[in-house]
Structure 1
Amino acid sequence: MEKGESNQERWCGLKDSSWCQQFKNISNPLMARYVYGFIFLAANLLAWSARDELSSISTLTKLKGLKVCKVEKECLGANGVLRVSMGCFLFFMMMFWSTTRASELNEARDKWHSGWWSIKIVLWILLTIFPFLLPSALIELYGQVAQFGAGVFLLIQLISIISFINWLNEYFASETYAERFKVHVMIFAATSYFICLVGIILMYIWYAPIPSCLLNIFFITWSLVLLQLMTSVSLHPKVNGGLLSPGLMGLYVVFLCWCAIRSEPEGDQCIRKAGTVPETDWLNIISFVIGILAIVFATFSTGIDSKSFQLKKSEKATEENDVPYGYGFFHFVFAVGAMYFAMLLVGWNSHHSMKKWSLDVGWTSAWVRIVNEWLAVCVYLWILIAPIIWKNRHTEST
């Protein structure tokens, strides 16, 4: 035995196992995030399968542990979604607590984050099965907590998107690129406003075809007002934010408004005037698949954006040995993302029956989207005017 050889190295020399090799090999956190994304996608598909398939298995409605609704067969699928979501949440929260302070590559927490996949896959499977052994009362409690967790996810996603838009605007407004990309920025901003106006006009045509559609008219008109407000504040001489950032924010606001109206349940001629399609039509299936992929992509892109949420920007230069992104924040986003996809699949209500190939449908879903839209505008406006307010206060104090 050579002098200075660690216990781990001696053990690996005796036990040439794949698990040990995973711990010895150089970690690759950039590839690891894609594996976690695949696990999250698998959980989404499993939750969807639980919702659309469990309710059709009549024998399961007789299980005492799964009786949670007055009409068990209709709510069995939603209960299954919450159980799969809970397993995914537990897995990523466990990863959060075990990697939250990782700062350097090749330390123990980094290797655990980027390796040991055999153990983690088994752990995820066991944690997915575990909630199905719990009584329905605990699952109902989790469903209520998941509403709050999904709201946290939406807030994190909102801040991440606004931070990216502001970064993009500052990047092209910098001295290095201001003159070089001036025409490109103007074309991009004009295109954004054009798409916003086309989207608003189409929403009027599709979702507010008659004057009695007052709620939809209000939603669409108010989105137009918010677009004008963001543009006016950004172009104010004291702010001087330009047209690019409010144009991009306008795209996000119009998109949220469209999602909100699309989430309204069918019932009158104001809803889905653009034309309803059969329940299992290929367009519904494609829309559903795109929606699931969008959830995974949004969770993934938000999870690696930990720098936008640092309360105090570090002046320390990035070293080669530093981790490329915050592992703890990454797993936390996936944990609350598990709650978010559960709410989308059950329409933010575990007692609300959902049709096959449907996603995020119901009045609760619609109002969540609308509130998210209004909150996004408030956060964006605050980011624009906050520096001016703090500057004035600082001037007055001195």
Structure 2
Amino acid sequence: MIREEFMEEPTSSSSMNRKSCRERYEQFMEDSWCAHFFLGPNPFMARYVYALIFLATNLLAWTIRDYGRSALSELQRLRGCYGARYCLGAEGVLRISLGCFLFFFVMFLSTVNTKKVQDWRNSWHSEWWPAKIILWLGFMAIPFFIPSAFIQLYGKVAHFGAGVFLLIQLISVISFITWLNDCCRSEKNEKRCHVQVLVVSILAYMASIVGIILMYVWYAPRPTCSLNILFITLTLALLQLMTFVSMNSKVNAGYLAPGLMGLYIVFLCWSAIRSEPHTEICNKKAEAATSADWLTIASFVIGVLVIVMATFSTGVDSKCFQFKKTEAEEEDVPYGFGFFHFVFAMGAMYFAMLFVGWNGHQKMQKWTIDVGWASAWVRIVNQWLAALVYMWMLVAPLVWKRQQVEAT
């Protein structure tokens, strides 16, 4: 029976059907996401593996910060650090962060400027996982044999690296918002998306105003909370200023982008006030959160996941930093491998600053993240910078155009 099937003429209908099904299946495998995950080097799958490695590193840093003192108190080499018995708290986080930074920085140096999928560096980025896991474990162990003075120096450098990460993330968010706004206002989509844009813009403005009102109620309950009142009032002023600049007749950028940017800066203001010390008398919501263990743990878990997701989404968004279209056209890799690893390297410094509250000499409470006055001021300055960068992106074309006219 089987032999008779193989001896059928190739022109028979059954043979043609099998051939057609096989061709359709092969074409489907080549065009579908399955091909990216299961056939050859898989840069699409690789980015998720790197995100899992980054998440595991964050959890390891948290474990050492909150529970590592009792487990590793016998390591005499680590007792010379600042803070004595709290060595494995803030400084333990810095050591894990240094190992994570070294791992991703080595990956950055070995994959930067990869443009073709045929390049051997594509295989190194997407495969060789046993070797890279061993490399990662090695980098996790090496920092614990480095003198404490060098770790403290790394903690100072990490402030700069975390700032670079925040700047990259800020540009990525603003670029996405402006891209979405331009896409919806294009000739092709303007009439089709008019109602959707109007609804989303109204909801964004309403959510921003409601958020500002709630922050006044929760974090500025009395006139003596002058700093929180200043932060919230400046947020309201920035929201109005961005809307005014965007709706100006010379700019004419619409109302979707300032609405989404308003949500973003309201979120940054809320994050800044939430980062204030829990002993602050105006931060009643934070004080209530410390009294509920489940809420504190949930906030911590969400905070860690947000770090990983922000690093991941920023790392794969290398296109927004390519200023020359000719270079982008030459590439056939799905995203910039070097940029991806560079963002994760800066993210390693960023999560260290969040776990130690941007201050390597303070003791953090268990299940807390990004708490302290330094964290609050970093957030609020990031908010001001976000608003300025967005408005500059709107005004810059007009300034350059005027300069060109004056030059001619």
TM value normalised by structure 1:
0.90
1:220 and 2:195 equivalent?
Answer: no
d(CA) in 1 for partners of 2:270, 2:63: 27
In 1, the alpha carbon distance for the partners of 2:55 and 2:285 equals 32
Amino acid aligned to 2:172: S
State whether structure 2 residue 301 is matched by structure 1 residue 301: no
Counterpart residue number, 1:335: 345
- 1:56·1:73 contact (CA, 8 Å) conserved in 2? no
Deviations 1:202-247 (A, max 9, x none): 0000000000000000000000000000000000000001110000
User: Which is richer in helix?
Assistant: 2
Confirm or deny: 8 A CA contact 1:27 1:106 kept in the other structure. Answer: no
Partner SS, residue 257 of structure 1: helix
Amino acid at match of 2:121: R
1:88 equivalent in structure 2: 100
Alpha-carbon deviation of 1:267?
A: 2.5
Match of 2:388 in 1: 378
Q: What per-residue deviation string (whole Å, max 9, x for no partner) do you get for residues 255-309 of structure 1?
A: 0000000000022421134751346610110110010000000000000111111
Q: Which runs of 4+ in 1 moved over 6 A?
A: none
Code of the residue aligned with 1:359 in structure 2: it is I
Equivalent residue, structure 2, for 1:130: 142
Distance 1:214 1:392 in 2: 42
Pairing 1:149–2:149 present: no
Aligned to 1:3: none
Work out which of the two has the higher radius of gyration on C-alpha atoms and give 1 or 2.
2
Q: 2:296 aligns with which of 255, 263, 284?
A: 284
Where does residue 366 of structure 2 map in the other structure? 356
Other-structure match for 2:196 = 184
Tell me, yes or no, if the aligned pair for 1:27 and 1:114 is still in contact at 8 Å. yes
Aligned partners of 2:259, 2:44: CA distance in 1, in Å?
A: 32
Cα distance in structure 2, aligned partners of 1:130 and 1:279: 38
**Paired residue secondary structure (1:314):** helix
More displaced stretch, 274-283 vs 149-158: 274-283
Deviates more, 1:43-52 or 1:276-285: 276-285
Partner residue of 1:29?
Answer: 43
Q: Distance in 2 between matches of 1:393 and 1:260?
A: 38
SS where residue 277 of structure 1 aligns?
A: helix
Moved more, 327-336 or 105-114: 105-114
Whole-angstrom distance in 1 between the partners of 2:184 and 2:324: 24
How many Å apart are 1:66 and its aligned residue?
3.8
Counterpart CA distance in 2 for 1:55 and 1:205 is 40
2:79/2:85 contact within 8 Å kept: no
Q: Specify which of 60, 70, 84 is matched with residue 46 of structure 1.
A: 60
Contact 1:347 1:365 in 2 (8 A): yes
**TM-score, length-scaled by structure 2:** 0.88
Contact 1:86 1:131 in 2 (8 A): yes
Q: Could you say which residue in structure 1 is the equivalent of 2:73?
A: 60
Shift of 1:318: 6.2
Deviation at 1:176, TM superposition (A): 0.7
**Of 209, 215, 219, the match for 1:207:** 219
Indicate conservation of the 8 Å contact 1:92/1:335, yes or no.
yes
Distance in 1 between residues matched to 2:178 and 2:161, nearest whole Å: 26
Structure 2 residue ranges without an equivalent (≥5): 1-38
* Residue pair 2:278, 2:287 contacting (<8 A) in 1 also: no
Corresponding letter in the other structure for 1:44: N
The alignment partner of 2:288 has SS state of coil
CA distance in 2, matches of 1:163, 1:226: 19
In 2, Cα distance between equivalents of 1:34 and 1:107? 21
Report matched runs for 1:1-20 at 5 Å: none
Residue equivalent to 2:172 = 160
1:131-170, Cα deviation, whole Å (9 max, x unpaired): 0111111111111100100000000000000000000000
Alpha-carbon distance between aligned partners in 2 of 1:37 and 1:86, rounded to the nearest angstrom: 17
The CA distance in 1 between the partners of 2:64 and 2:291, in whole Å, is 18
Using the alignment, how far apart are the partners of 1:162 and 1:60 within structure 2?
A: 46
Give the secondary-structure state (helix, strand or coil) at the position aligned to 2:73.
helix
- Between the aligned partners of 2:150 and 2:286, the Cα distance in structure 1 is 41
Counterparts of 1:175 and 1:278, CA distance in 2: 52
Please tell me the residue identity of whatever aligns with 1:363.
W
Question: Contact 2:78–2:87 (CA<8 Å) still a contact in 1?
Answer: no
CA distance in 2, matches of 1:168, 1:329: 23
| Contact preservation (8 Å) 2:79, 2:87 | no
2:158 aligned partner, one-letter code? A
CA distance in 1, matches of 2:211, 2:262: 10
Letter of the 1:131 counterpart? P
Residue identity opposite 2:73 in structure 1: L
- Matches of residues 112-127 of structure 1 in structure 2 within 5 Å? 112-127=124-139
The count of residues paired between Structure 1 and Structure 2 equals 370
Give deviations 1:55-92, integer Å, cap 9, x for gaps: 344x61762334312x4223431111011110000000
Q: Distance in 2 between matches of 1:44 and 1:279?
A: 25
Cα distance change of structure 1 residues 226 and 133 upon mapping to structure 2, 3 Å threshold: same
AA aligned opposite 2:301:
V
Could you tell me how far apart the structure 1 residues matched to 2:182 and 2:290 are?
46
